[in-house]
Structure 1
Amino acid sequence: MTFGGLPTRWEPPERSRGVALVAPGRAYPPSAPLLDFARIALLQHGFTVQQIWWDSTSRGDEDPDAWVRRHVEAAHAAEDADHVLVVGKSLGTRAASYAAERGLDAIWFTPLLVEPVVAEAIAANPARQLLVGGPADELWDVAVARELADAGCDVLEVADADHGMGTRDAVRTAEVHLEVARAVDAFLRAT
């Protein structure tokens, strides 16, 4: 399966231990660094990776939670796997209610913690979750992140990271992405 000539599905070299559904951001495709490093880590840890590609401008007036949910639900319905993990970036973190209802493990990059519906859905999910963000991101709420950490979520908060998990410095941005890759690797080792 491809999207614009790019592959959307990858299989691990050995038997798959589950499927990861990757829900991108509004303007952050699955091929962008955070999600691509996650894809590599997921494959390394034995997951099949199914990326969801979308054109968020096609959403129109549809509620963003319902729109994201519809895409993730369709991708999930196409899978026959006992273990499903959701990976979302920004807009894709609106899949948190879907993941919570099904008790799916999740990795949330720059979750929209200022949106009560997203924060409450993450809090309601009994499964393992990793949240990645930084206080330089106006959509990251430090207090909510601490509450979620206290409730059992794994949280990587990078002090100088913005919504793209970057900074104004190229080397520091690469270092931030390395921190994120290490956190994802550690999370997947324990999943």
Structure 2
Amino acid sequence: MTFGGLPTRWEPPSESRGVALVAPGRAYSPAAPLLEFARRALLQHGFTVQQLWWDTTTRGDEESESWVRRHVEEAHAAEAADHVLVVAKSLGTFAASYAAERGLDAIWLTPLLTEPTVAEAIGANAGRQLLVGGLRDELWVPSIARELGENGCDVLEVPDADHSMGTDDAVRTAEIHVDVARAVEAFLASL
């Protein structure tokens, strides 16, 4: 499968242990650094990776949550895997309610914790979850992240990171991305 000539699906070198559905942000494609590093870690840990590519301008009047859920549900329906993992960035974290209803393991990169439906769904999910966010991100709510961490979620909170998990400093941004990649790798190793 391709999107605009780019591949959207990757198979691990050995037998797959499950499928990871990768849901991007509004303006953050699956090829952007955080999701690209996640793709590499997923393959390293034996997951098939199915990226969702979307054009948010086609959403029309449809509510963000139902629009994202519809895309994730369609991708999930196309899979026959026993173990499905959701990896989502920003807008893609509206898939949290879908993941919670099915108890799917998930990695939430800069989840929209200011959206009650996202925060509540993460809290209600019986699956293993990793949350990654920065204190300079206005969509990250430290008290909610802390509560979710106390209730079983793994949490990486970076004091100087914004919504892109970066800063104005290129080197520091690269360091943050390495920290995120390590957290994703450790999470996958623990599944």
Q: Same fold (TM over 0.5)?
A: yes
Which runs of structure 2 are paired with 1:117-156 in the superposition (5 Å)?
117-156=117-156
Partner of 2:72: 72
Moved over 6 A (4+): none
SS at structure 2 position matched to 1:37: helix
Q: 1:67 and 1:135 mapped to 2: Cα distance?
A: 28
The residue type equivalent to 1:2 in the other structure is T
Give, as a single letter, the amino acid of the residue that structure 1 aligns with 2:104: L
Question: Structure 1 counterpart of 2:68, which letter?
Answer: V
Give the corresponding residue for 2:16.
16
Structure 1, gaps ≥5 residues long: none
Distance in 2 between residues matched to 1:123 and 1:88, nearest whole Å: 16
Q: Does 1:98 align with 2:98?
A: yes
The amino acid that maps onto 2:108 is: W
Q: Match of 1:165, as an amino acid? A: M
Secondary structure of the structure 2 residue equivalent to 1:177? helix
1:60 deviates by 1.1
Equivalence for 1:157: 157
Corresponding position of 2:190 = 190
Where does residue 166 of structure 2 map in the other structure?
Answer: 166
Structure 2 Cα separation of the partners of residues 90 and 20 of structure 1: 17
1:2-49 per-residue CA deviation (whole Å, 9 max, x = no partner) reads: 000000000000000000000000000000000000000000000000
Q: Structure 2 CA distance, aligned partners of 1:135 and 1:182?
A: 19
How far apart in 2 are the matches of 1:63 and 1:181? 31
Aligned partners of 1:174 and 1:149: how far apart in 2? 25
1:57: how far off?
A: 1.1
Q: Percent identity?
A: 78
Report the residue type matching 1:94 in the other structure. F
Q: 1:34 aligns to what SS in structure 2?
A: helix
Paired residues for 1:28-67 under 5 Å:
28-67=28-67
Question: Which amino acid letter does the alignment assign opposite residue 6 of structure 1?
Answer: L
Q: Which amino acid aligns with 1:185?
A: E
Q: What is the RMSD of the two structures over their aligned residues, measured on CA atoms?
A: 0.3
Secondary structure in structure 2 of the residue aligned to 1:49: strand
Q: Counterparts of 1:103-118 in structure 2 under 5 Å?
A: 103-118=103-118
Distance in structure 2 (CA, Å) of the matches to 1:47 and 1:160: 31
CA distance in structure 1 between the aligned counterparts of 2:135 and 2:170, rounded to whole angstroms: 18
Q: Does 1:4 align with 2:4?
A: yes
Question: Secondary structure at the residue paired with 1:94?
Answer: helix
- What stretches of structure 2 of length at least 5 have no aligned partner? none
CA–CA distance in structure 1, aligned partners of residues 57 and 30 of structure 2: 16
In the alignment, the residues of structure 2 paired with residue 115 and residue 57 of structure 1 have an alpha-carbon distance, to the nearest angstrom, of 21
Tell me the secondary structure at the aligned position of residue 180 of structure 2.
Answer: helix
